[in-house]
Structures are given as structure tokens and as C-alpha cells.
Structure 1
Amino acid sequence: MTGRRIRFGVWAPVHGPRAALRDPREPFDASWEHNKAVVLEAEELGFDSTLIAQHTVNPHLPDHDQLEAWTAAAALAALTSRIEIIAAIKPYILHPVFLAKMALQIENISGARFGINLVNAWNKSEFEKAGIAFGEHDGRYGYGREWLSVVSRLVSGESVSHRGEHFAISDYRLTPKDLHRQRPAIYIGGESEPARVLVAEQGDVWFINGQPLADVAGLVADLRRRPRAGAPLRFGLSAFVIARQTEDEARQEEGRLLALAAAAGDVQALQGRNADPKAAMFQTMAKSARLGTNGGTAAGLVGSYEQVSERIVAFHRAGIELFMLQFQPLRAEMRRFADEIFPRVRALEAGSAARALSDA
């Protein structure tokens, strides 16, 4: 167990549905109004966090809409009162000084509910069409490591002078600093060796792509063995959920979505052409048929309400604190999860805590 209460988050629909982009039960909608409605409802239902992925153009259907992550994060910070707002960032896109200023502003708007999710990026086309060099996989992590070292110092209120391979910064300090805590939380995704080095060194939370429990437990154990300064690293898991009264009903819905996803060959072909083959996310996802992004149903959260709840608690025992979840149809399934899974998981948590006390 992590010693921390299980937290649940939801991916914002920044580029439409996560499992099948052409679903009659989930019409494509990446608009600001839809994203706002989803996050406000998630907060009302009791979800703890939302993740806003960063893309400039839609990575799956280039002629379709794409929400901008950081302006949306600022607006959501002002509109919400409790839910954590996590915005992804690809370091090549924004200079660390200006990104750090934006992060501090959103942190102060939200009242200490903001998180920065550093991602290495996989969509070459998004960069190359803008005339930005995409860089080799490990080189991007080298850039990101230096970039984040500048950002983390600036958002902590330090006066920063830095001379490195990529940045030259002289006596730069941002005010006002974080009004509520030392700095916003730093989430890092990626499972390659350079990603693991970076998260052990500079991250607060490691986002792991959806995959079987044994694999996740091995990843958590590997990071816990690594030298680290400061507070212990925490862990999050991405997963696509299909929960029903019975496992058969869940498998039927899984089959419906798999058939829709399989029919979208153009989406898969585009993703294959644009994806960096060294991205560990795609290597992980290639191990099994799945729905959703970032591992999706490979985490095994498909089944009856009891099965899904028990699997969540098993992941928690392995070290996962935050479950960043995907659903389709999104809002209806968020409600189902809140109604059926929240109480079951809390009951299992309470039972585990009571047993731990009796054993002490």
C-alpha cells in the first residue's frame, strides 16, 4: 500500500473520444464547452484530478478540432474549486522561463491545484510541420531534463542563472511566487531508461501507461530502488475502464468498441506514420489488443463492478496512488464509475485499513 488514499482522475476529451473516434454513442466533440462540462461534472461527482493532454493539432484526425491545453487549464482553474488540474507540456514548444510563468499563474488562480505533466512527445508531424526539429528520442529527454531543471527552480521562487547546452539564463526570478506551497506538482510520463532517470531525479509523480499488474509492480519497484533526494516518488496509472454489473456485459461493450476502433484504419495508419518508434508507450501498447490511449484497457479494468474495484485496490497495493481514467461514452461512464466503483473501492480501502490496524 502507498499509505495514501486512492485518487481518481479523468482525461479531458481534448481530441475527442479515447477508444473509437467514430462512435454513434459518443459524437466527436473536442470543443471548449464540452471539455468544460466534463471537468465540472467530474469535480461534482468526486473525481480528484483531470489531465489535459497537449497537442497543437489533432494527432488522430488532422482535420478535426483540438483543444489547447494551457489556456484551457487556466480557464478550468478559475471555474473549479476542488479538482486538480494537470496540464501536459512538450518542452520543445515553450521556453522554460515563459512556461514557468504560466505555470505559476495557473497555480495561483487555482489555489494550489495545478500540476505540470512533462511528456517527451511522440507525434513527429506536429513538430516538423511547424519547422521545429523533433530530435532523437534520448536527445529529447536530455533537452527535457535541462528544461525542467530551469522550470522547477523558477516555480520554486529561486533567482536562476543557468548556462547549459540548450539555455542561457541570467538572474531571472518570477514574482509572485507560489502563494500556497513550494511549487506546483511535477508529473512525468515515459517508461524508457532516460524517462526513469528523469523522474527519479526531478519528478513528484510518475505516470505509468496502462499494463498488467505484474508489469506495473515491476516498474514501481525499479523506481523505488533508485537514489532520490526529497520526498518519496508517487505513482499514477493510465487506464481505460469498462465496468458493468456482470463481466459478460463488460466484454460485450468492449467488443463493440473494439469493432469500431478496428474499422478506423485511417486513424491507425496516420498514428503509425507519425509516431516515434522508440517511444516506449507504443512498445507497451503493442503487447496486447487494447482500447484507449496510453495503454488503455491493457491495465485490465474491464469486468464487473466487483472485479474492477478489486483490481484497482490491487494496483494500489503495488504502489499506484492516482488512477487517470478514460471512458466511452465519457460522461455517462464517469457517472457509472462514481455510482458503482467509488463506494466499492472505499469499502475495500476501509477493510484493508482495519486489517492493518488489527495486525499492528
Structure 2
Amino acid sequence: MLAETPAVRFGIWALVHGSRAALNDPREPYDASWERNASLVAKAESLGYDSVLVAQHTVNPHDPDRDELEAWTASAALAAITRKIEIITAVKPLSFHPVVLAKMALQIEAISRGRFAINVVNAWNLAEFEKAGVPFPEHDARYAYGTEWLEVVSRLMTGETVNHDGDQFHVRDYKLRPASPYRERPAIYVGGESEPARKLVNRLGDTWFLNGQSLESVRALIADARSRQRSGAPLAFGLSAFVIARESRAEAEDEHAHLAELAAKDAAVKAQQKANTDPDSTMWNRMARVASVGTNGGTAAGLVGSYDDVAERVAAFRDAGIGLFMLQFQPFEAEMKRFAQEILPRFGVGSRRRVKAAAALAR
């Protein structure tokens, strides 16, 4: 049995476009509604999860005829109805002017009382931009744009008066109020694993989000990040993973096979998604080489097995440097609860909640 090890956090992916593993699962009817996501996040908070990641899309990236939750308005609402959970909202720099985005971020920071973070991602869905008539530069040019964009956003979120004259943006004597009374600024997460992404997160990010992949790959990526000269606090690391945990390894493997069979029925949707994907996307090129269930690497992280297997795998990633696990399940609510009951206590989550409750009573 794994000893309690509290120095790790656990979060969930919001279901902004419904089920994460297979779209045609009778146990989890497709539902990307606000009502379902509000209930899901409230339940995650009550179970002891630390964070929720709300991906940003304007149209469903799998099937444009299916529903898609709008990330930023939903995140503001989630901030208002929750009390403890960190709300991390993804943003594609091409979608928002940095002044507008920074103001939105500071407002949700105020609503959440210091629990908000942005997750900067380089867009990969060509159709989402091309159909709207929005320019979609090539991969490295998008990162150059995103780096300048994040520099402006980061400074504005601190409340400083910003003067910026760059290749993309020209901002003069701009200051946003109110700034955060809770900390210097909202936290900044950065996704992507290409060389431009690594430079961006090293320069301007607080946490590097990695997609689900092997322990060996994660160790290599973290080693590369730590080898780079960086000013400020050390970079933190997060990992996306799809979890299938059961009493026995055989039961987990059977469920994995079942979900893979269901996911195979989404072949037409996946083909369309591939056609809409930037061919230079590092994430998609790597994930295409590894069979997995779930999005953003899914089960490639290996959190499939008995409760002991999964806990030991989580501990190995933690020891490699992962401080936050952003998890997916299916059916989501039931499996999220199972993980909270069987795995979270092994990492001190119950102890953390008791300490926080005692501190609150002492105030």
C-alpha cells in the first residue's frame, strides 16, 4: 500500500464537448451543457479535487453539429458557484486581444477570490479559424504571436501600467483596475511540447502542461525544461491522463478494451478532426503514433490498472516532477467518484481537507 504523500494535486477536465473517450457510450449520453458541467465541477470540488480545466473552442472540434460549452462565460459562472477549486481556462491568443483577455481574467480572479488561472495553448483546429475568416499563421508564427500576446497579458494582469510597442501589439499607458488583491496575478499554465512552446513556458509560464505519455517521455521533457536558464520561481509541471482504475488489473484492462471498441465507432468523426488539424502540430503528430483512449494523450500515461497499479503510477510521475494531474474519466461522474474514494486518500487529499477546515474554523 502506498504511503500518504500530500505534495501533489488532482484536477478534472470539464466536459466542454461531451464525453472524453467515446461519443457513443450508452452509459454516458452526450451532454456538453452548462447544467451538466456546473454539476460536475461542484461534485469534483466536494470530492476533494483541486482544479478544473475548461478547454476553449467556439465550435465542437470533433463534430460541428454537436454542442460546445463556451469556456470564458462558463468559467465566470463556475467561479461564482464554487468556493475552493482552482478554475483554469484555456485561451488561444488568436481569439482575443490581450487587453480584453487580461481584463476578463482579472474579473474572474475577483469573482473566484484568487482561484483563477489561464492556460495558453497554440491553436490546432484550422477549421475553427478559417471558417470565421480569421488568419491562421503557420505553427512557429503562431507561437511568436502568442509569446508577444502573453507578455502583454501577463503585465496587464499584475496591474502595472503597460507601454508595449511590438510586432503584433501597440499598447499605450494601459492599466487595468481592479488588480488582484489576492496575489501578484492569476497563474499562467502553458500547453504544447514543440521547441517554441518550451521557450514560451520557460519565459512566461508558471506551469507546463504535458499531454498524456510515457513516464520516460515525461522525465525527458522535465529534464529539458530544468536544464534551461530561467528567472523567477522554478517551473511546475502538470500532466493530462485518462484513468481506468478497478479492483483488479484484469477488470481495468477489460474496461479499457470496451472503451476502445466504443471509440472505434467514432472513426468518421476522428477522420474529420484530423482533416481540420494543423499538420505541424507537435501534439497531434506524437499522439497519432500511440494508440490510446481519451483526449490529449489519454491512456498513454498508463493510469490503467488496479487501484494499487494506478496509485503507484501516479507516484512515479509525481517523483519525476509532476505536481498536478488533470484527469479524464468515462462515465465521468461515476469514475471520478471511484478515483476520489480509492486513490485520492493515498495522496493525503482527505488530510488536506481536514487541515483546511480546521484553519477555517480557527479564523
TM-score (norm 2): 0.94
Q: Provide the residue aligned with 1:162 in structure 2.
A: 164
| CA distance in structure 2 between the aligned counterparts of 1:211 and 1:277, rounded to whole angstroms | 20
1:115-150 CA deviation, whole Å, 9 max, x = no partner? Answer: 000000110000001110111000000000000000
Q: Provide the residue aligned with 1:357 in structure 2.
A: none
Q: Cα RMSD over matched residues?
A: 1.4
Within the candidate set 158, 175, 180, 1:173 is matched to 175
Within the candidate set 284, 287, 291, 1:285 is matched to 287
Specify the SS of the correspondent of 2:7: coil
1:96-118 CA deviation, whole Å, 9 max, x = no partner? Answer: 00000000000011011000000
Q: How does 1:2-21 map to 2 (within 5 A)?
A: 5-21=7-23
| CA distance in structure 2 between the aligned counterparts of 1:151 and 1:198, rounded to whole angstroms | 13
Specify the SS of the correspondent of 2:24: coil
Q: Provide the residue aligned with 2:125 in structure 1.
A: 123
| CA distance in structure 2 between the aligned counterparts of 1:87 and 1:259, rounded to whole angstroms | 31
Q: CA deviation at 1:281?
A: 1.0
| CA distance in structure 2 between the aligned counterparts of 1:150 and 1:197, rounded to whole angstroms | 16
| CA distance in structure 2 between the aligned counterparts of 1:277 and 1:244, rounded to whole angstroms | 37
Comparing 337-346 and 298-307, the one that deviates more: 337-346
Q: Provide the residue aligned with 2:267 in structure 1.
A: 265
Q: Provide the residue aligned with 1:240 in structure 2.
A: 242
Q: CA deviation at 1:4?
A: 7.4
TM-score (norm 1): 0.95
Within the candidate set 219, 229, 232, 1:230 is matched to 232
| CA distance in structure 1 between the aligned counterparts of 2:58 and 2:162, rounded to whole angstroms | 29
Specify the SS of the correspondent of 2:268: helix
Q: Provide the residue aligned with 1:88 in structure 2.
A: 90
Within the candidate set 86, 101, 104, 1:102 is matched to 104
Q: How does 1:31-180 map to 2 (within 5 A)?
A: 31-180=33-182
Q: How many residues in Structure 1 have an aligned counterpart in Structure 2?
A: 347
Is residue 326 of structure 1 aligned with residue 328 of structure 2? yes
Q: CA deviation at 1:287?
A: 2.6
Q: State whether residues 212 and 299 of structure 2, in contact with CA within 8 Å, keep that contact through their aligned partners in structure 1.
A: yes
Q: Provide the residue aligned with 1:221 in structure 2.
A: 223
| CA distance in structure 2 between the aligned counterparts of 1:345 and 1:182, rounded to whole angstroms | 29
1:248-306 CA deviation, whole Å, 9 max, x = no partner? Answer: 00011111110111121111111110011111111221232101111000000000000
Q: State whether residues 252 and 306 of structure 2, in contact with CA within 8 Å, keep that contact through their aligned partners in structure 1.
A: yes
Within the candidate set 266, 275, 278, 1:276 is matched to 278
Specify the SS of the correspondent of 1:40: helix
Q: State whether residues 101 and 174 of structure 1, in contact with CA within 8 Å, keep that contact through their aligned partners in structure 2.
A: yes
| CA distance in structure 2 between the aligned counterparts of 1:324 and 1:165, rounded to whole angstroms | 35
| CA distance in structure 1 between the aligned counterparts of 2:111 and 2:167, rounded to whole angstroms | 33
Q: Provide the residue aligned with 1:304 in structure 2.
A: 306
Q: Structure 1 runs of 4+ off > 2 angstroms?
A: 344-347
Is residue 210 of structure 1 aligned with residue 189 of structure 2? no
Within the candidate set 302, 317, 320, 2:319 is matched to 317
Q: Provide the residue aligned with 2:342 in structure 1.
A: 340
State the one-letter code of the partner of 1:28.
Y
1:216-240 CA deviation, whole Å, 9 max, x = no partner? Answer: 0000010001011100000000000
Q: Provide the residue aligned with 2:193 in structure 1.
A: 191
| CA distance in structure 2 between the aligned counterparts of 1:270 and 1:67, rounded to whole angstroms | 20
State the one-letter code of the partner of 2:318.
H
Q: State whether residues 6 and 347 of structure 2, in contact with CA within 8 Å, keep that contact through their aligned partners in structure 1.
A: no
Q: State whether residues 6 and 348 of structure 2, in contact with CA within 8 Å, keep that contact through their aligned partners in structure 1.
A: no
| CA distance in structure 2 between the aligned counterparts of 1:341 and 1:266, rounded to whole angstroms | 35
Specify the SS of the correspondent of 1:320: coil
State the one-letter code of the partner of 1:155.
M
Q: CA deviation at 1:59?
A: 0.5
| CA distance in structure 2 between the aligned counterparts of 1:164 and 1:248, rounded to whole angstroms | 57
| CA distance in structure 2 between the aligned counterparts of 1:266 and 1:346, rounded to whole angstroms | 43
Q: Provide the residue aligned with 2:358 in structure 1.
A: none
| CA distance in structure 1 between the aligned counterparts of 2:184 and 2:256, rounded to whole angstroms | 43
Specify the SS of the correspondent of 2:245: strand
Q: CA deviation at 1:82?
A: 0.1
| C-alpha distance 74-320 of structure 1, shift in aligned 2 (>3 A) | same
State the one-letter code of the partner of 1:237.
L
Specify the SS of the correspondent of 1:188: strand
**Residue ranges of structure 1 left out of the alignment (5+ in a row):** 351-360
| CA distance in structure 2 between the aligned counterparts of 1:76 and 1:325, rounded to whole angstroms | 18
**Residue ranges of structure 2 left out of the alignment (5+ in a row):** 353-363
Identity %: 63
